Amino acid sequence: MSDLEPSLLRRLKDRDERAFRELIEAHRDRVYNISFRMLGSRAEAEDVAQEVFIAVFKTIETFRGDSKFSTWLYRVAVNHCKNRIKYLARRHDRDRDELDETTNVQHGAVGAIGGPGPRAPDHALEAQQMETLIQEAIAELDEEQRIVVVLRDVEDLSIEEICKITDLPDGTVKSRLHRARLVLRKKLQRHVGESNE
């Protein structure tokens, strides 16, 4: 049932450092991307992603392997992001200066709206502006809506998997997703319309 090889799981439980590194290499980008889209800051995302893996390593012995490891990992990531959002809200630390750095080549970010391949500078700029707009719109969603929309529309996870990650019933996930999309649609409506013209 688990998507983690039994030999790797055994090595993880034996606290084999190389096994931990293998696990990080396999999942780091996805955990980081979820954290980044949830928090809107690379520095916060990196910090949270680190804490996620540390928490996973500390509790790996409790993972029984009867569910997907990725589901378990994303649940830990989502919980850490929720905690960090609350912490930042308490500190009123809403600085998202890095929003305009989403195409930062330092981190080797790839992928683009409209698919891979070279793009004209104006197209790239438009895509970057669109991405900034979406990230801002996501950041304005409430925490619960943000979780489901990031997992579904950004990470492309199934509704079933999101239910397992969030421990919510199917109907709740769907209604939060609909509400999130409604808000996003309204925020992006004008820009999407302009870009289509």
Residues engaged in binding other proteins (CB under 8 A): 14-17, 20-21, 24-25, 28-29, 31-33, 36-37, 42, 45-46, 49-50, 53-54, 57, 102-103, 107-115, 127, 130-131, 134-135, 149, 152-154, 156, 159, 174-175, 177-178, 181-182, 184-185, 188-189, 192, 196
- Minimum gap (Å) between residue 136 Cβ and other proteins: 12
- Minimum gap (Å) between residue 22 Cβ and other proteins: 9
| CA 140 from centroid of its chain's CA atoms | 16
- Minimum gap (Å) between residue 83 Cβ and other proteins: 18
- Minimum gap (Å) between residue 64 Cβ and other proteins: 20
What's the first-to-final CA gap in the chain, in angstroms?
48
Nearer to other proteins, 1 or 48 (CB): 48
- Minimum gap (Å) between residue 167 Cβ and other proteins: 19
The neighbour count for residue 143, using CB atoms within 10 Å, is 12
The tokens 């308490």 sit on which residue? 90
Nearer to other proteins, 25 or 122 (CB): 25
Kindly tell me the burial class for residue 96, based on how many C-beta atoms sit within 10 Å of its own C-beta (0-12, 13-18, 19 or more).
middle
The total number of residues written for the chain in this structure: 197
Nearer to other proteins, 125 or 159 (CB): 159
- CA-CA distance, 31 to 12, in Å (whole number)? 18
Structure tokens at 14: 């034996």
Nearer to other proteins, 85 or 173 (CB): 173
- Minimum gap (Å) between residue 94 Cβ and other proteins: 19
Q: Are 76 and 63 in contact (CB under 8 A)?
A: no
At how many degrees (to 10) do helices 121-140 and 170-196 cross?
Answer: 140
Nearer to other proteins, 25 or 167 (CB): 25
CA atoms within 13 A on the CB side of 50: 6
Structure tokens at 63: 């993972």
Nearer to other proteins, 79 or 102 (CB): 102
